[in-house]
């Protein structure tokens, strides 16, 4: 998380009241709010070319992709995609073990700074996808030759990656950079193209960009895509990292219009913003890459004018709502909740007690994640 770009957002009135719920009731409530008219059959459903009537299909020399429009709403499917973000690991390994022992697995774990414990995570739960990032350097000045800057930054990271190279699936290079204008984002894409070259040569996979909530804008995505970076990332096995937060609820600004685009009832300005990139660009272009949301949760820095008595009382319910949206999109690997083991100002974001049953707030993530193991 970065403090460089935090903007105050207006929000519409959302449902109030968030009574704590038992895990089974919580899951049922989330599922009841969805229209169960369709179920994804496999991980490539959104990429399937539409049927072409008659013999016309035989004359096509390429797939045809249509905009993501359907009279049926997607239905959440597959196990939970919620995961852990850690600054200090604390009881993260215990939680991974408890979920695994109950027959499920934690989808995604990101370690910031201290990432040696990911070896334990992988030993317990090989299915868990792991992401790691050093604390610094986390920013780059978008000037000069992007390939030269990539070489400089990667030279500072790679020596620290070697010890965990066999247990970290994706490495983050920067954190929440927001270069000025379209030209700045194109420069950053060129930086990551060069960084992927270096990663490939050394046997690493990257989670590229790591943009913050609300970044970038739609036309900036358009220019980024045109650099060919996602086609390259897909071909070479890299992933996309994004951060998504809401406040004071995860559905804040859901369904509102953003920039000069019309509103979409199935996308958000804050959470679910990734759908603009995937549905408008990557799916039609057949350039879908895995998405790891390496920070998520509730962030009061989005609007300091809004106060809540205790966000922990509604946190599990909020993240269950967000999880249901993530589970509609097969390209989403998972979302890590910021943060366990926080230090300094980040201690206020710690939700560790909510991992376990018998916490003061009722619902807990252990029961929630396990309840979806057969979904």
Q: 65 is written with which tokens?
A: 């992709």
Phi, psi (5° rounding) for residue 99?
Answer: -65, -45
Tell me what pLDDT residue 359 has: 97
Tell me what pLDDT residue 178 has: 97
- The answer to whether the beta carbons of residues 132 and 164 sit under 8 Å apart is yes
- Assign 3-class secondary structure to 51-84: CCCCCHHHHCCCCCCCCCCCCCCCCCCCCCCEEE
For residues 31 and 369, what is the distance between their CA atoms, to the nearest angstrom? Answer: 14
Tell me what pLDDT residue 32 has: 45
Tell me what pLDDT residue 72 has: 64
For residues 86 and 111, what is the distance between their CA atoms, to the nearest angstrom? Answer: 5
For residues 335 and 240, what is the distance between their CA atoms, to the nearest angstrom? Answer: 12
Residues 6+ apart with CB under 8 A from 10: 303
The ranges of the chain with pLDDT < 70 are 1-72
**Residue 254 DSSP class:** B
For residue range 14-52, list pLDDT tens digits in order: 323 333 333 444 444 434 443 333 333 333 333 333 343
For residues 85 and 107, what is the distance between their CA atoms, to the nearest angstrom? Answer: 12
Q: 143 is written with which tokens?
A: 């000037």
Q: 122 is written with which tokens?
A: 């992988």
**Residue 282 DSSP class:** I
Tell me what pLDDT residue 1 has: 62
For residues 46 and 24, what is the distance between their CA atoms, to the nearest angstrom? Answer: 29
Domains detected in the chain: 78-371 (3.20.20.80)
Tell me what pLDDT residue 191 has: 98
For residues 69 and 289, what is the distance between their CA atoms, to the nearest angstrom? Answer: 21
For residues 234 and 240, what is the distance between their CA atoms, to the nearest angstrom? Answer: 10
């Amino acid at each position: 998380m970065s403090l460089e770009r935090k903007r105050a957002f207006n929000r519409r009135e959302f449902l109030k009241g968030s009574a704590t719920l038992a895990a089974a009731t919580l899951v049922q409530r989330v599922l009841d709010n969805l229209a169960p008219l369709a179920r994804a059959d496999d991980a490539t459903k959104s990429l399937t070319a539409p049927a072409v009537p008659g013999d016309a299909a035989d004359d096509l020399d390429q797939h045809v992709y249509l905009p993501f429009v359907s009279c049926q709403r997607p239905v959440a499917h597959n196990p939970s995609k919620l995961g852990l973000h850690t600054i200090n690991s604390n009881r993260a390994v215990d939680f991974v073990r408890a979920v695994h022992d109950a027959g499920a697995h934690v989808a995604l774990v990101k370690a910031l700074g201290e990432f040696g414990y990911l070896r334990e995570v992988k030993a317990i739960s090989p299915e868990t996808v792991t992401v790691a990032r050093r604390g610094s350097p986390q920013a780059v000045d978008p000037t000069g030759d992007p390939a030269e800057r990539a070489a400089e930054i990667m030279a500072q990271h790679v020596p620290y990656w070697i010890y965990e190279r066999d247990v970290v699936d994706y490495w983050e290079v920067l954190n929440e950079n927001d270069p000025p204008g379209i030209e700045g984002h194109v420069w950053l894409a060129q930086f990551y193209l060069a960084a992927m070259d270096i990663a490939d040569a050394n046997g690493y996979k990257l989670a590229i960009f790591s943009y913050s909530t609300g970044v970038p804008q739609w036309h900036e995505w358009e220019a980024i895509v045109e650099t060919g970076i996602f086609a390259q990332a897909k071909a070479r096995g890299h992933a996309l990292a994004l951060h998504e937060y809401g406040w004071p609820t995860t559905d804040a600004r859901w369904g509102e219009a953003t920039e000069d685009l019309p509103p979409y009832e199935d996308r958000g300005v804050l959470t679910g913003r990734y759908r603009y990139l995937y549905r408008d660009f990557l799916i039609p272009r057949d350039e879908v890459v895995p998405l790891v949301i390496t920070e998520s949760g509730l962030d009061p820095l989005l609007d300091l004018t809004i106060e809540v008595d205790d966000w922990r009382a509604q946190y599990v319910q909020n993240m269950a709502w967000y999880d249901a949206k993530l589970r509609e999109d097969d390209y989403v690997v998972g979302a890590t909740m910021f943060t366990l083991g926080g230090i300094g100002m980040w201690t206020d974001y710690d939700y560790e007690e909510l991992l376990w049953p018998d916490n003061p707030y009722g619902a807990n993530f252990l029961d929630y994640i396990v309840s979806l193991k057969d979904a």
